[in-house]
Amino acid sequence: MTLTAPERPQTEGKLLYKVEEAIDILGLGRTTVFELLRSGRLRSVQVGRSRRIPTAALREYVERLEREAAGVKAR
């Protein structure tokens, strides 16, 4: 008889990203991302003294860009 460790639920990747990671993911400059955060166009959360960007916020931002681009093309 062999004992196995109980299975742990696994998430599909990270839920929160450091700002530097979001910069790499989005392919944008540091100044641009900090301006997006400051203006509220990219949501973030405070975790202790650190700022983190939820995965959902990254997706929402990109989806908004796609909608805006589609709106411009439709004209």
pTM over 0.75: yes
At 71, the pLDDT band (50, 70, 90 cuts) reads confident
Structure confidence at residue 12 (pLDDT): 67
For residue 16, what are the CA distances in angstroms to 31, 32, 38? Answer: 20, 19, 18
Tens-digit pLDDT profile for residues 23-67:
999 999 999 999 999 999 999 999 999 999 999 999 999 999 999
Which of 22, 18, 21 is CA-nearest to residue 48? 18
| Alpha-carbon span 17 to 24, nearest angstrom | 10
Domain ranges of the chain: 16-74
For residue 74, pLDDT beyond 70: no
Which of 64, 52, 70 is CA-nearest to residue 16? 52
